[in-house]
Chain A
Amino acid sequence: NAGVMQNPRHLVRRRGQEARLRCSPMKGHSHVYWYRQLPEEGLKFMVYLQKENIIDESGMPKERFSAEFPKEGPSILRIQQVVRGDSAAYFCASSVSWGVNQPQHFGDGTRLSIL
């Protein structure tokens, strides 16, 4: 009865490198959401994906950030040319379907640190 799995739990990158964060949703869930929590700030929505499709990316920074959820395999949040301001906890959530009546189930996040 595995929950949402995120890896790695901790990731350290130097400025200018790429960061790849992975999220495996709960079994049977085809809707994935990414959120970011900057130090001492609240959780902010980034992107919502449904298998192979980006449904809402209104919270994604315009540059360097991308997300995918392929037919097979985990969802990936990719950050290119990381900067110090990208240091944050990144959380993935999944739900069995869409709708405001559907809970989202979260993983324990990836803590990204930029040196």
Chain B
Amino acid sequence: DAKTTQPNSMESNEEEPVHLPCNHSTISGTDYIHWYRQLPSQGPEYVIHGLTSNVNNRMASLAIAEDRKSSTLILHRATLRDAAVYYCILRDDPQGAQKLVFGQGTRLTINP
């Protein structure tokens, strides 16, 4: 899987939007961009994924740059429950490995 780069930590306030960046300058044309998060003492939780177009679901939005070398996970209105480590993961090779390769992620702190 191609490498991603994320800030180690970010901080935001409750009820404000949060933009979590991810750089993936070596992304290939078939790489999907996935986001997972891990709340304290819990397993990872799938958030969203996309290939080229921006994506929205009930949890978040994913904005993908036109050249696909970066993407941003957007939490529209953060709550205390959104405090977690967020992982940006590239997945490719449909015929090959199905494993997720987790990096260090971004630890998001939400202030009340």
Residues of A within 8 A of B (CB): 4, 31, 33, 35, 42-45, 48, 55-56, 58-59, 91, 93, 95, 98-109
Q: Is the CB of A105 within 8 A of B98?
A: no
Q: Which of A31, A43, A55, A99 contacts B102 (CB 8 A)?
A: A43
The prevalent SS among residues of B at the interface is loop
A-B contact pairs, 23 of them (CB 8 A): A33-B100, A35-B102, A42-B102, A42-B103, A43-B38, A43-B100, A44-B102, A45-B99, A45-B101, A48-B97, A55-B98, A56-B99, A91-B43, A93-B43, A93-B100, A100-B31, A100-B91, A100-B93, A100-B98, A101-B49, A104-B46, A106-B43, A107-B43
B112 adjacent to chain A (CB < 8 Å): no
CB distance from B29 to the nearest CB of A (A): 13
Given contacts A99-B94, A100-B93, contact A106 B45 (CB under 8 A): yes
B32: chain A residues at CB < 8 Å are: 100-101
Q: Which residue of B lies closest to A43 (CB)?
A: B102
Contact with A along B20-64 (1 / 0, CB 8 A): 000000000011101000100111111001000000000000000
A42: chain B residues at CB < 8 Å are: 102-105
B101: chain A residues at CB < 8 Å are: 45
B30: chain A residues at CB < 8 Å are: 100
Given contacts A105-B46, A106-B44, A108-B42, contact A100 B94 (CB under 8 A): yes
How long is the Cα–Cα vector from A102 to B92 in the complex, in angstroms?
11
| A99, A103, A107, most chain B CB atoms within 10 A | A103
Contact with A along B54-90 (1 / 0, CB 8 A): 0000000000000000000000000000000000000
CB distance from B95 to the nearest CB of A (A): 9
CB distance from B43 to the nearest CB of A (A): 3
Q: Is the CB of B43 within 8 A of A100?
A: no
How long is the Cα–Cα vector from A35 to B58 in the complex, in angstroms?
27
CB distance from A25 to the nearest CB of B (A): 13
